[in-house]
Amino acid sequence: MAENQVGGQQILLLPEGASRVLGRDAQRSNIAVAVAVANAVKTTLGPKGMDKMLVSELGDIVITNDGATILDEMNVEHPVAKIMVDIAKTQDKEVGDGTTSVVIMAGELLKGAGDLIEQGIHPTTIIRGYKMAADHAGKILAEVARDVKVEDDATLQKIALVSMGSKNVGDDNTKAHLGKMVIEAVKQVMEKDASGRRIIDHDFIKVEKKAGGGIADTELINGVLIDKEIAHPGMPRSVKNAKIALLDVALEIEKTETDAKIEITSPEQMQAFLQQEERMLKDMVGKIVKSKANTLFTQKGIDDVAQHYLAKGGILAVRRVKKSDMEKLARATAAKIVTSLDDLTEKDLGSAGLIEERKISGERMVFVERCKDPKSVTIFVRGGNQQVVDEVERSITDVIGAISSVLIDGKYVIGGGSIEIDLANGLRAYASNVGGREQLAIGKFADAVEVIPRTLAESAGMDAIDTLVQLRSKHKGKGGGVEGVDINRNGLSDMLKQGVFEPLKVKQQAIYSASEAAEIILRIDDIISSRGRAPAGGSGPGGMGGDHHMDE
């Protein structure tokens, strides 16, 4: 029972069975949990990062080194662990890449804060220092960032390869093939708003996957792949120079909105009723034929009789297409989605060079391709088994995010831990000018940023301390340096010559998200559980679903 004493009188604060963790104990517990989460994904960072195998209660297996996926599948219980998962999800949604970096950086910030708290520095002072450090880091990033043009495919390709660097998705040639494909897809759907700013909607880059073949068989379709089959066996399986009608209307006799009773007393009446239904369906198909459409996609159903008449008219039809796919078809083919057959005209039709049903791994799918300037495209992912296909999909999603970020922003920075050393050196110089206790927090922020090159060195089997010392030396002076961790040669190299580039937006988002997550967690000095059980992790660094050694 949680209680307090006021003037010798016992005051009850919480109900029977409730518990709380206060002050330093709460802060230590929260920091320990955050560091444990960071350690769980730390070894996945970089081209030589390791994979994690995640097994669900049902026996489903996920093998990946994608930070957001690992944290999502871990099913954490501790509220602080959930905050760490949330920052990875935010990073993933906002920029599509850098999920592992943001989590391990947040873990290091909290680890550094823990050291300062033990030295007697108040959390609000640390938070103030971290805010100052994050703002200054943002300024440094903006100063050192380099420009990239939309037509600079060589630089974009290097950014794509770095994004895929840690993913197990084939050799360099395969990665180059995937990168080129994503760049083409992103540019194809890119548009400009009224102010001239580039906008890229990831929803219009559909990533469809099917196990079978090899990763190299992954292809970009200038159109939409619909995971449905053609409605009737009598319909054509392939249509060239297709004129496409998109309908949000059922080609069937719909039931009345209110309960109605039809009384039929003779076979003649029954026959007349059926003939009337057939005429109505024939009229519906007649309106489609009149519009000169030779292909039809509808969100709703198609009656068997209507299918017969469509097949007779040589029209390829696909029914019960998802709303999201209908929107993609509209953008790819320039067709308008029609909600009334009476309104369907030739002007509403879209076009595609080829529509064809193909059998892929035993399942029939409809390919709508060779569209003229489609504003929605599909990347069809192939791979040897389901785990490989899933990882390729995650990798492509990351690259889409990275390329989109750099095209919208038009800026990139030098990777391989190079930019982090420049940030750390800049922050340390800034700390010496700030004075007060905040400078200690800024110093810890600089240490936390260096976790990226340190982890890259560790994953490559290099001495992390020696690597950091050498990098700091190489990056001294105005303008910093371009040396970073070369995991292929187990040493330092010129990252500019190596072409190790990362989007500016990814780095900015990681710095701000990690800083804000650390600030939220550091403000907590009281964990109250009123559900008759101890607060998760109250007894130590656990609270992550029972396994306290995820980082081992």
Could you list the active site residues? Answer: 66, 99-100, 398
φ, ψ for residue 491 (rounded to 5)? -165, -160
Give the C-alpha separation, 159 to 535, whole Å. 43
Sign of CA dihedral 443, 32, 22, 529: positive
What is the DSSP track for 2-57?
-EEEETTEEEE-S-TT-EEEEHHHHHHHHHHHHHHHHHHHHTT-STTPPPEEEE-T
Q: How many residues would you count in the chain?
A: 552
Q: Which residues fall within 8 angstroms of residue 408, CB to CB, at 6 or more apart? A: 197, 198, 199, 200, 505
Strand partners, 413: 502
**What's CA 170's distance to the chain center, in Å?**
21
Structure tokens at 421: 């050393």
Name the strand (E) or helix (H) holding 326: helix 323-333
DSSP 8-state symbol, 427: H
Tell me the residue ranges of DSSP E strands in 51-92: 52-55, 61-64
Q: Report helix angle 67-74 to 23-42, nearest 10.
A: 120
Report the C-alpha gap between 198 and 191 in whole angstroms. 6
Token pair belonging to 360: 């892929």
Kindly state the DSSP code that residue 524 receives in the 8-state scheme. -
Strand segments, DSSP code E, in 123-162 are: 146-147
Residue 335 is classified by DSSP as P
C-alpha to C-alpha distance for 302 and 320, rounded to whole angstroms = 8
- CA separation (Å) from 55 to 75, 165, 347, 393, 544? 11, 25, 52, 19, 15
Q: Give me the torsion for CA of 539, 540, 545, 548, rounded to 10°.
A: -140
